[in-house]
Amino acid sequence: MSQPTIESILHEERLFHPPAEFSQHAQIKSLEQYQQLYDKAKADPQAFWAELADTELHWFQKWDTVLDWQPPFAKWFVNGKINISYNCLDRHLTTWRRNKAALIWEGEPGDSRTLTYAQLHREVCQFANVLKQLGVEKGDRVGIYMPMIPEAAIAMLACARIGAVHSVVFGGFSAEALRDRLVDVQAKLVVTADGGWRKDVIVPLKEQVDKALAGNSAPNVENVVVVRRTEQKITMESGRDHWWHDLQAKASADCPAEPMDSEDMLFVLYTSGSTGKPKGVVHTTGGYNLYTHITTKWIFDLKDTDVYWCTADVGWITGHSYIVYGPLSNGATSVMYEGAPRASNPGCMWDVIEKYGVNIFYTAPTAIRAFIKMGEQLPNARNLDSLRLLGTVGEPINPEAWMWYHRVIGKERCPIVDTWWQTETGGIMITPLPGAVPTKPGSATLPFPGILADIVDLEGNPAPASEGGYLAVQHPWPGMMRTVYGDPDRFRRTYWEHIPPKDGQYLYFAGDGARCDQDGYFWVMGRVDDVINVAGHRLGTMEIESALVSHSAVAEAAVVGKPDDLKGEEIVAFVTLENNIAASDELKNELKKHVVQEIGAIARPGEIKFADALPKTRSGKIMRRLLRSLAAGEEISGDTSTLEDRSVLEKLREG
């Protein structure tokens, strides 16, 4: 696979204009209109966001200050009172959307369910009352560890309704990873299911919750609510565990949305960084509501008749912002899919598009590369005429995959929005607006209006156009993360002081390398820190190293990413063993299993390489750059003069 390189970017000359028919009916119709919005937002960001907040959202009470910026801490719409669950549900009930499909759920194996706005509202109100009855109060944290079922969205919206803070943990994480997150966020209650379907097998979610809570290891958790999904046998601990359907049946459907302060915490979502411990990214209410609302509306060019499908899992930020909050705030019909392509059903995604007449399809480059491998006969055998807009997110898309998506899925008539953003940014930051901005395969194109993106060196100086540098953002935006849960200092250091502030000017450091071309188009090249991107999943190499080192046979470990055709990157672990331990294939397998147990299947190393020693600098730092080259089978280039013992490198190369 060819990831973008500076050379390939310089040679990418293909330009795809939005089809005239598309632009004519689009929310943003031309490059001029985009430019006007961009200029207006740049000239007076506060006025720009305030106008949108006023026209697009319902407020119980208007704010008195648009932005209070005490770098790096921002408050948006200060003293405004709002509830995102109200904006996602109640305000649609007095319109014709009352009986419009809010969520269309396609489950496994062959289950399906549609919830109208009125039905979803009812379920959310009931579950909000359930939470209250179980003692959950405004500000309390609730863990959500769920399969891709409507109850996941219902639980999120119910928390938001009463002001509880949700912390969704991806259902693919292990019991250990779940426990770490529940403990860090001090969750009072956990919502889960007996099990969830993942590619023809059942993931025993409740069993994992039991393990995570065993021995009172997450002492704040008082109650567990369990959705019956897969009907497998589980144990219910009396007094602690409750069936969702029992509680829901008895709960009143009357639960007015709590007026929240605009800056009240909405959710905490954990993500990997360049240290061993995942960070709890904190998002608050008003700014996040506005940012996800307006990005969904303009980038996905929402029409009231659209069926919109984002294939992410609600356990990730993409699911939060672009399955649940953004689409529902707009009154859209959002598809939620529990399945995934696999050998037994390789064409399932195209079946879902055909079955529901999906108009907007948003997925990840790694999925597109898997579709390419499975062959175009699969999509070609389905009717995909309903599609009018395609999107990608999660990693740089290689131009070959972009072209395939454009030709085979989009039939050369659907614009593609390649959207760059992060858990931390809350919503999409760099992207084409599909009716306005011509696209180039592999480029996320231009910043969203109100986003002042820059490419700089580590001193914050503009990077020379031909060289590339670090992606940074100049001015706060409503959807930005507010802090790291429980660690404001880490927030400051990681994101705002990595590039030292100059004259009180702070730059948000995204952790990605990027380049701008002669047209001002952004080309994101990937992470520049110790974070790797495996099949669109963001993983910290240090987390995997900690997991490896926690095994008794391991003395030291260094983890790097190696380019992979399908997954983008593959995990390669270099491991030195304790003195009395012999290297073997069995041990390799055991270590892989151990990582799965500590973190989850997404972190399983593709390769483990045993070594006598790891290459280090004289000050004892592991030289990952050299290991990356070794893993990729490349010649070691660059400076190796700081290497303490050159023979280490020779040995690694030989064996």
Q: Which residues bind ligand PRX (CB under 6 A)?
A: 271, 317-318, 393-396, 418-423, 444, 510-512, 524, 526-527, 533, 538
Q: Give the nearest distance from C-beta 49 to ligand PRX in angstroms.
A: 21
Specify the residue, 526 or 600, whose C-beta has the smaller distance to ligand PRX. Answer: 526
Specify the residue, 192 or 271, whose C-beta has the smaller distance to ligand PRX. Answer: 271
Q: Give the nearest distance from C-beta 321 to ligand PRX in angstroms.
A: 8
- Report the phi/psi class of residue 231: left, alpha or beta, with left for phi > 0 and alpha for psi in -120 to 50: left
Q: Give the nearest distance from C-beta 170 to ligand PRX in angstroms.
A: 10
Q: Give the nearest distance from C-beta 395 to ligand PRX in angstroms.
A: 5
Which uninterrupted H or E stretch holds 360?
A: strand 360-363
Peptide bond into 72 cis (omega under 30): yes
Nearest to 130 by CA among 255, 314, 234: 255
Show the CA angle centred on residue 312, arms to residues 12 and 245, nearest 5°: 175
Nearest to 434 by CA among 292, 297, 289, 293: 297
Q: Give the nearest distance from C-beta 169 to ligand PRX in angstroms.
A: 14
**The token pair that represents 551 in the structure block:** 């095994």
- Report the phi/psi class of residue 186: left, alpha or beta, with left for phi > 0 and alpha for psi in -120 to 50: left
Which uninterrupted H or E stretch holds 117?
A: helix 117-133
Nearest to 410 by CA among 19, 6, 13, 4: 19
Specify the residue, 524 or 649, whose C-beta has the smaller distance to ligand PRX. Answer: 524
**The token pair that represents 571 in the structure block:** 């995990």
Specify the residue, 116 or 419, whose C-beta has the smaller distance to ligand PRX. Answer: 419
Specify the residue, 107 or 394, whose C-beta has the smaller distance to ligand PRX. Answer: 394
Specify the residue, 257 or 534, whose C-beta has the smaller distance to ligand PRX. Answer: 534
Give the CB-nearest residue to ligand PRX.
423
End-to-end CA distance of the chain: 26
- The one-letter amino acid at 498: H
The Cα 120–Cα 89 span in angstroms is 8
Nearest to 9 by CA among 536, 440, 447: 440
Torsion angle of the four alpha carbons 273, 278, 282, 288, in this order, in degrees rounded to the nearest 10: 60
Q: Give the nearest distance from C-beta 513 to ligand PRX in angstroms.
A: 9
Peptide bond into 476 cis (omega under 30): no
Specify the residue, 178 or 652, whose C-beta has the smaller distance to ligand PRX. Answer: 178
Q: Give the nearest distance from C-beta 498 to ligand PRX in angstroms.
A: 13
Q: Give the nearest distance from C-beta 56 to ligand PRX in angstroms.
A: 22
**Which residues sit opposite 173 in a β-bridge?**
600
Backbone φ, ψ for residue 523 (5° rounding): -125, 110
Nearest to 119 by CA among 145, 97, 149, 152: 97
Q: Give the nearest distance from C-beta 421 to ligand PRX in angstroms.
A: 5
Specify the residue, 88 or 393, whose C-beta has the smaller distance to ligand PRX. Answer: 393
Q: Give the nearest distance from C-beta 207 to ligand PRX in angstroms.
A: 26
**Which residues sit opposite 558 in a β-bridge?**
574
Specify the residue, 167 or 318, whose C-beta has the smaller distance to ligand PRX. Answer: 318
Specify the residue, 460 or 511, whose C-beta has the smaller distance to ligand PRX. Answer: 511
Q: Is 454 strand, coil or helix?
A: strand
